[in-house]
Structure 1
Amino acid sequence: MSVRRTERASEVFSEEAMRSAEEEAFEEMLMEAAPPTAVSRNLRPSKQQIVPKIPEAVDDFLRNVLQRAGLGRTMISFEEEWYGSAQKLMTQTLRRAGVLLVPDALTHRQLIQAQLDTVHRDTDLLRQEVLHAGERLLRTQRERDFYRLQYQRVAEHKSRLMEDLHQLKKHLQSYRPALRRLEDTIQEALRKKMLLSLKKDRVQNSKALNQDTEAPHSEDTRAPHSEDTRSPHSEDTRAPHSEDTRAPHSEDTRAPHSEDTRAPHSEDTRVPTCSRGPETEHETMETPLSLSYSIRAHKLPISCIHLHPRKLIVASASDDRSWRLWLLQAHGEKVGQMVLTGEGHSDWLSGCSFHPDGGKLATTSGDSTVRLWDFSRGGGCVLTLSHSRPTWGCCFHSCGHFLASCYADRTARLWDLSSQRCTLTLRRHTASVNSVCFLPFSDLLLTCSADKTLALWDARLGVCTAIFQGHQHPCNHSTCSMAGHTVASCDSCGIINLWDIRKPAVSMATVDAGPRAANQVAFSPSGRTLAVACSDGLVRVVEVDSLVSSSLPGHRDSVQSVAFDHRGGTVLSAGSDGLINVWA
């Protein structure tokens, strides 16, 4: 019994040892679970699935051994124990691992097969992408070769063009002397033509004077008014505005010819006593104005235009430091042809004015000079009147011996062209004097200032005879009608005031051409129409009697200057766009 107990105990121990060994081996097999890649890409579980590797070869070996030995009951017991212990152990292990799904060999095969199918699909997609990439690479290489050929062709064409350009430049350099000679010839021909025209005018004027039965008013010029015996700067001239004359601007004391303005000079010419000319009636415009043609006069803005006293020739002054003469109408010649040009100022030009005889032109500039140009000398500068501040405008006396100019230093000056001296300095305004003009056939001088006032001066005595107050903004320009009774002025907000010089206290009428600034005003020869140059690009034409205004659009920028022709049926305008427009 003891021997059997011992054998039985040894068998039980060996069985327990085998079980423990099998359990340990099975646990090791369970720990070697399938990797995450074995899971299908479409399922993507939240937890890692463990696929045990079941030792099918050992199981089959034991079964084969038992079947060959004929131990059927042992085989049944083995299968019961084998599968029971394996299922129990695997269940416990999976529970400890937190995995509920227990895949078997079929599931493992299905997972591997799904992974294999996914790999095959990815391989097919990659193969197709590689094929497409190869095709694109071939197309890119072909395009590269094509563009490389095109680049080579363009480079060759460019090299040929550069060679042609160098040859053309050399050819042009060879023609430059000939072009210069042609330009000089044209300028000389224009100057000769201008001289012939001036000579014809002088001959006609001399004939008209010889045929005139009325005696000239030489006695009036030789015997001036009794008040002329007084000094032009006597105490009476300073009485109305003693503060202004006693305390002028600091720069005025350093201005040239300041001493000459206080004492008469032996070479100075006395301002003649002028009487108003006959008031002739001109036809008014019965039909509306329309743009007739335009002249591209300058590349830079035009600051001022002025019409020749007798001919249809207009002078233009520009920011390009030059002035030019343009032909408006001629028989058998091109309209808008440049007749003459002149350069000499070192800064922009602000104004221009023809001499009464039409043979000279005065220009003002930001270089603080007033220059006089003589057409009989080919348009050369014959006189330069210097000052210390920029000059805004100028105007000739009707006799032609005196020139008035206005400056940014709040003064206006009267120059004697014979002695080339400043004979009179007018000080009253408290801001820049923007315009100056002589009343027609009169010794009265009208000034307009940025201090919002206008002043009327006696040029013989230097006395301020009237002050026009009514503008609320700085005044830009003022002018007088040919009749000499009506004055028009404009300011920086587009307000136009009409004044009667006999009643300067209150303006006769007011016209609003704003809100942009009104830069210049001009009366027609009859005095019934007023043209206004506005900063909004419009030329406004105002009927003085009815104050009805109409607009003429045609400029692309601010209009700086306007003028009427000799008959009053045509309006000339110039602006910052460099154009001269003719409205007929």
Structure 2
Amino acid sequence: MAAQPGAPDSCLRDLEEALGMGLSADGDAGDTVAAEGAYYLEQVTITEASEDDYEYEEIPDDNFSIPEGEEDLAKAIQMVQEQATDTQILEQKTILPSRHAVPEVIEDFLCNFLIKMGMTRTLDCFQSEWYELIQKGVTELRTAGSVPDVYTQIMLLDNENRNLKKDLKHIKQAADKAREDLLKTQKERDFHRMHHKRIVQEKNKLINDLKGLKLHYASYEPTIRVLHEKHHALLKEKMLTSLERDRAIGQISGLQSTLKNINMGNNFHIPEIKVGHSCEKENMPEGPTQKGLRKAREQNKGKTKMKDNAKDSEFPINIQQNPNLNLCTENLPPAKFDYKLINIFRLHELPVSCIVMHPCKDVLVSCGEDRLWKVLGLPKGNVLLTGFGHTDWLSDCSFHPSGNKLATSSGDTTVKLWDFFKGDCLLTFEGHSHAVWSCTWHTCGNFVASASLDTTSKIWDVNSERCRYTLYGHTDSVNSIEFFPFSNTLLTGSADKTLSIWDARTGRCEHSLYGHMHSINDATFTPTGHMIASCDACGVMKLWDFRKLLPIVSIDVGPSPGNEVNFDSSGRVLAQASGNGVIHLLDLKSGQIHKLMGHESEAHTVVFSHDGQSLFSGASDGTIRMWS
């Protein structure tokens, strides 16, 4: 395109210098812009001989004309001067600042760049020289536009690149750590897999061995059963033989006394009848040493008999008949199962271990793990008496048949007898090596039996204040003990899963009942005495025929353990205190089970009132609940 006439060539040169100054001021960024494909000015000369076919239209200049004449020449010169003045003014307005004028934005850019690069000394030198030049007026400041977008983009990209490099570094570190964790996990997985395979192999081997042992054991079961039956038959025969022997000895002693009386009346000498093999021994000659030993033995035997047996109580031979045998169940009211919680007595700070009813009165005694026993008046629940003296938790208690004494067993390995009238401890029986779990009175009131964790039971004589017999036979803790009503027979339940029946006069086991698969926690007789009830650590209740010594029925109310079982006065309802806080009531006639829900913790003990219209249960929260 042709240059406009009248426009001086200096304008184009000044514009080029201004652009050149701007590009040089931008520094290396200018080269980057050119490299990026930015626009720049290039001088092009268009000649008239251009081969361009385009026909340009000539624009007339209406504002410029040369007048004719002298006056017109003066006007023309004046007009040219005015246009030159206007052109200079335009040049001053459009000309860019000199190379010494640095935009303030570039100053900030340089300062930021030096700070970012950490060139502190260069920054100090630059600022000192820069402000010195400004004060001298050498450098001119002007309001410049913003830094070109390419610089901003470069800075943003640089920051983003730096951040991405940091993220990449962190991701690589995380990936390396994850790879290490993966390898470690794989190694652990392989180790546990091998361990699991080895355990499975050992398990299969143990299962095979167990199957073989079961088969081997099953082959011996018939023989063991036959041996047990023979053993029990022999024990029965032995007991009957001993009874017949005692009866024969009694008859012989009676005959001897009769003959002595007759001899004294008639003055005849009749030789004394000897029992057993003593006659043969007397006919044999004795030396002086044997005679001395026999005399010393007889003297010591007489002394020990006089010392030990002077106050010993005799087990009753002719015990009165059980009055409950004449109890007619047909005339009794129907059994009660719809008990409702009517009262809660908070008596102990620690769990309640035992509750017993007075044999005659509406009085209840509770024992707790806080080492106290308390006498409770019913139905108000007022505490009548509190007893303390044991040094450890109480496990069980039992009333004397007359109701004026109480026996308590404790974890301090002792059994104590208490007198209600004196309110004090009468006797303390010491002999067990571990905690005593249970105690019971004989119907005659002269003997107390106890069961202990040391796998033994003991029969204590109240009059002579000593242990008459120690019952050995159980292989684990003896958890419960009870006398058969109005007899000399004793029942024990043990953690070795067996029930044993003992003769209290001889201290020997007469029979054992097998059937429980877990530790037996409690066992009791019905009031009539023809049936036994027991419960174990998995909530299984069993009923046994005491006359035939055979199991009747097994009822599973588990898996919570059964802690105690008790019959009502009619013997038609069996109650069990369970570990889940539920009281199970079993109707012996229909076989139905009723549940009493009301305890918030484990139920330890349960007992019926005399009339069967109320029920009392103790729990591990130290409370006694009354149901009616």
What's the TM-score once normalised by structure 1's chain length? 0.57
2:540 matched to 1:495? yes
Q: Distance in 2 between matches of 1:86 and 1:303?
A: 108
Q: Does 1:419 align with 2:464?
A: yes
Contact 1:285 1:569 in 2 (8 A): no
CA contact (8 A) 2:481 2:523 kept: yes
Specify the SS of the correspondent of 2:482: strand
Q: How far is 1:495 from its partner? A: 0.7
Correspondences of 1:13-24 after superposition (within 5 Å): none
Deviation at 1:25, TM superposition (A): 8.3
Counterpart CA distance in 2 for 1:81 and 1:357 is: 138
How much does 1:276 deviate? 3.1
Instruction: State the superposition RMSD in angstroms.
Output: 3.9
Q: Do residues 324 (structure 1) and 371 (structure 2) align?
A: no
Q: Partners of 2:448 and 2:478 in 1: how far apart?
A: 16
Secondary structure of 1:289 counterpart: coil
Q: Whole-Å Cα distance in 1 between the matches of residues 591 and 320 of structure 2?
A: 30
2:439 is aligned, of 388, 394, 406, to 394
Are residues 349 and 31 of structure 1, via their aligned partners in 2, closer, same or farther at CA, if it must alter by over 3 Å?
Answer: farther
The answer to whether the 8 Å contact 2:581/2:598 transfers is yes
Length, aligned pairs only: 373
**Map of 2:557 onto structure 1:** 513
Answer yes or no: is 1:546 the counterpart of 2:590.
Answer: yes
**1:132-147, aligned counterparts within 5 Å?**
none
Equivalent position to 1:527, from 564, 571, 585: 571
Distance 1:453 1:110, change over 3 A: same
Q: Is the 1:228–1:461 contact (alpha carbons within 8 Å) kept by the matching residues of 2?
A: no
Q: 1:21 to 1:501 in 2, by over 3 A?
A: same
CA contact (8 A) 1:284 1:568 kept: no
d(CA) in 1 for partners of 2:90, 2:612: 133
In 2, the alpha carbon distance for the partners of 1:340 and 1:580 equals 16
**Alpha carbons 1:398, 1:441 under 8 Å: kept:** yes
Once the two structures are superposed, the pairs formed by residues 332-347 of structure 1 within 5 Å of their partners are 335-347=380-392
Equivalent pair of 2:14/2:95 in contact (CA under 8 Å): no
Judge conservation of contact 2:335–2:573 (CA < 8 Å) in 1: no
Report the alpha carbon displacement of residue 566 of structure 1 after superposing the two structures with TM: 1.8
Shift of 1:541: 1.2
Give the deviation of 1:313 after TM superposition. Answer: 0.5
**Partner of residue 303 from structure 1, selected from 340, 345, 353:** 353
2:339 counterpart residue number: 289
Match of 1:444 among 489, 501, 512: 489
Match of 1:460 in 2: 505
Q: Distance in 1 between matches of 2:543 and 2:610?
A: 22
- Could you tell me which runs of 5 or more consecutive residues in structure 2 were left unpaired when the two chains were aligned: 1-8, 27-35, 39-76, 100-141, 148-244, 251-303
The residue aligned with 1:272 is: 316
Q: Which one of 400, 404, 408 corresponds to residue 359 of structure 1?
A: 404
- Secondary structure in 1 aligned to 2:390? coil
CA distance, structure 2, for counterparts of residue 22 and residue 412 of structure 1:
125
* Alignment-mate amino acid for residue 299 of structure 1: E
Matched, 1:578 2:622: yes
Q: How does 1:72-111 map to 2 (within 5 A)?
A: none
1:343-371 deviations in Å (ceiling 9; x for gaps): 11111111111111111111111111111
What SS class does the counterpart of residue 561 from structure 1 fall into?
strand
Give the match's secondary structure for 2:421. helix
- Aligned partner of 1:561: which letter? T
Correspondence for 2:282:
none
In 2, distance between residues paired with 1:72 and 1:276?
157
Deviation at 1:478, TM superposition (A): 0.1
Distance in 2 between residues matched to 1:415 and 1:359, nearest whole Å: 18
Cα distance change of structure 1 residues 525 and 74 upon mapping to structure 2, 3 Å threshold = closer
- Give a deviation string over 1:235-288, Cα, whole Å, max 9, x none: xxxxxxxxxxxxxxxxxxxxxxxxx99x96443212212243222236344443
The answer to whether structure 1 residue 564 and structure 2 residue 611 are counterparts is no
Give the SS at the match of 1:430: coil
Q: CA deviation at 1:547?
A: 1.6
Secondary structure at the aligned position of 1:527 is classed as coil
Pairing 1:119-268 to 2, within 5 Å after superposition: 226=247, 265-268=309-312
1:511–1:547 contact (8 Å) kept in structure 2 = no
- How far apart are the structure 1 equivalents of 2:603 and 2:248? 43
Report the Cα distance in structure 2 between the residues aligned to 1:272 and 1:227, rounded to whole angstroms.
Answer: 18
**Alpha carbons of structure 1 residues 70 and 451: separation in structure 2 relative to 1, 3 Å:** same
What secondary structure sits across from 2:551 in the alignment?
A: coil
Contact 2:373 2:388 (C-alpha < 8 Å) held by counterparts: yes
Q: Kindly provide the amino acid, as one letter, of the partner of residue 357 in structure 2.
A: L
Report the Cα distance in structure 1 between the residues aligned to 2:560 and 2:445, rounded to whole angstroms.
36
Asked if the contact 1:285–1:568 (Cα under 8 Å) also holds between the matched residues in 2, the reply is: no
Letter of the structure 2 residue corresponding to residue 407 of structure 1: S
In the alignment, what sits opposite 1:214?
A: none
Q: Determine the C-alpha separation between the residues in 2 that align with 1:435 and 1:276.
A: 25
1:402 & 1:228 partners in 2: Cα distance? 25
Structure 2 letter corresponding to 1:516: S
Distance 1:433 1:110, change over 3 A: same
The answer as to whether partners of 1:284 and 1:569 remain within 8 angstroms in 2 is no
CA distance in 2, matches of 1:227, 1:294: 59
For 1:465 and 1:72, the matched residues in 2 are separated by 151
Assess, with a 3 A threshold, how the Cα gap between structure 1 residues 512 and 25 changes in structure 2: closer, same or farther: closer
CA displacement 1:558-582 (0-9 Å, x = unmatched): 1111112222332221111222222
**Correspondent of 2:521 among 471, 476, 485:** 476
The verdict on how the C-alpha distance between 1:499 and 1:22 changes in structure 2, with shifts beyond 3 A counting, is: closer
Pair 228,502 (structure 1): closer, same or farther in 2 beyond 3 Å:
farther
Q: Does structure 1 conserve the Cα–Cα contact (< 8 Å) formed by 2:395 and 2:436?
A: yes
Change (3 A) 1:399 1:30: same
Per-residue deviation at 1:24?
Answer: 7.4
Note the C-alpha offset of 1:524.
Answer: 1.6
Per the alignment, residue 362 of structure 2 pairs with: 312
Return 5+ residue gaps in structure 1 as ranges: 1-14, 34-46, 50-66, 90-106, 113-223, 230-259, 330-334
The AA in structure 2 aligned to 1:306 is V
SS at match of 2:342: strand
Q: Residue in 1 aligned with 2:60? A: none
Distance 1:388 1:402 in 2: 20
Structure 2 residue matching 1:293: 3-state secondary structure = strand
**How far apart in 1 are the matches of 2:320 and 2:587?**
28
Task: Give the residue type in structure 2 aligned to 1:295.
Answer: F
For 1:541 and 1:548, the matched residues in 2 are separated by 8
Query: In structure 2, do the counterparts of structure 1 residues 109 and 68 end up closer, same or farther at CA, with 3 Å as the change threshold?
Result: farther
| Conservation of the 8 A alpha-carbon contact between 2:15 and 2:95 | no
Which amino acid counterpart does residue 472 of structure 1 have in structure 2?
A: M
8 A Cα contact 2:456 2:478, kept in partner: yes
RCO greater where, 1 or 2, for CA within 8 Å and sep 6 or more? 1
Closer/same/farther in 2, CA of residues 327 and 281 from structure 1, 3 Å limit:
farther
Structure 2 partner of 1:130: none
Give the Cα–Cα distance (whole angstroms) in 2 for the partners of residues 25 and 111 of structure 1.
Answer: 17
